[in-house]
Chain A
Amino acid sequence: MNMSTTEAEPTAELTCLKCHSSIDYCSFCDESRCGVAVCYGCLIEDLGETVAQPHDHGG
């Protein structure tokens, strides 16, 4: 007997176009089926919403 009441929806494999990390949805358009998906980290860097640390150690 099948005890489960819900079935998990199949999730599309989505990766960030820039860093190739696995993501659930595109951080720009919020879509899970985006052809040019981008992760949050790459997006804010690209849009200049964050400033890269001048030194590796962060100081």
Chain B
Amino acid sequence: MSPRAAWRLESFGFTEVYHYEAGKLDWIAAGLPSEGRDAERPRAGDVARKDVPTCSLDERIADVRARVRAADWDVCVVVNEERIVLGLLRHDQLDKGEDEPVEQVMRPGPSTFRPHVGIEEMARYMIEHDLESSPITTSDGRLVGVLLRTDAAKAANKLREQHEREHEP
């Protein structure tokens, strides 16, 4: 949590409040340069689509649906003004309602994944769990993009083929 949030909690009377200090994984998760054997391997953050539609909690669901469909997307991420992920609208939620605010129909608090996760692991999990898309966020919950299963599978296959070529006798 931010120092400001920590101080606010202390002002409410909480005595055991700690400020989370970012470490190495947070550095990589933020997409900052890294070195080593795995540095060149594509990660979830590299493959995630950054142009995913977003909306706010109080928007009318019918307006969001029209905007998302017009952009040829099937998913929309609900964010606040700081681009912190608050919810997700997948196909089922986008089909619901007319005048209701997004907050009423969204999936609140969806599972999100860090940008440094290897693309092979993400592809495997997304196929196993039959998940079309997964939001990718930094450690502090800020939206990086949405990883589509098709993109993850293609990138993982490419990596595997490259690996096989490099290790051909």
Whether the Cβ atoms of B117 and A36 lie closer than 8 Å is no
Q: Indicate whether B31 reaches chain A with its CB closer than 8 angstroms.
A: no
Contact, CB under 8 Å: B128 / A48: no
Report Cα–Cα, A28/B44, bound state, in Å. 14
A50 and B28 alpha carbons, distance in the complex (Å) = 12
| A1-51 with Cβ < 8 A to chain B | 26-31, 34, 36, 46-51
A51 proximity list for chain B (CB < 8 A) = 25
Cβ contact of B117, chosen from A27, A29, A34, A49, cutoff 8 A: A49
Q: Which residues on the B side are within 8 Å of A47 (C-beta)?
A: 113-114, 117-118, 121-122, 125
Shortest CB-to-CB span from A15 to chain B, Å, is 16
Overall SS of chain A's interface: loop
Please indicate which of the listed interface residues A28, A34, A46, A51 has the most CB atoms of chain B within 10 Å of its own CB.
A28
Cross-chain contact A28 with B117 (CB below 8 angstroms) = no
**A44: min CB distance to chain B, Å:** 9
Question: Which residues from chain B contact A46 at a C-beta distance below 8 Å?
Answer: 121, 125
Contacts of B125 in A (CB 8 A): 28, 46-47
- Please, which residues of chain B bring their CB within 8 A of the CB of A30? 107, 110-111
Give every chain A residue within 8 A of B129 (Cβ-Cβ). 26, 28-29, 31, 34, 36
Residue ranges of A at the interface with B (Cβ–Cβ < 8 Å): 26-31, 34, 36, 46-51
Closest 9 CB pairs of A and B: A29-B129, A47-B117, A36-B128, A29-B131, A28-B129, A47-B121, A30-B111, A28-B125, A49-B114
B residues engaging A (CB < 8 A)?
A: 25, 107, 110-111, 113-114, 116-118, 121-122, 125, 128-131
A-B contacts, 26 listed (Cβ < 8 Å): A26-B129, A28-B125, A28-B129, A29-B111, A29-B129, A29-B130, A30-B110, A30-B111, A36-B129, A46-B121, A47-B114, A47-B117, A47-B118, A47-B121, A47-B122, A47-B125, A48-B116, A48-B117, A48-B118, A48-B121, A49-B25, A49-B113, A49-B116, A49-B117, A50-B25, A51-B25
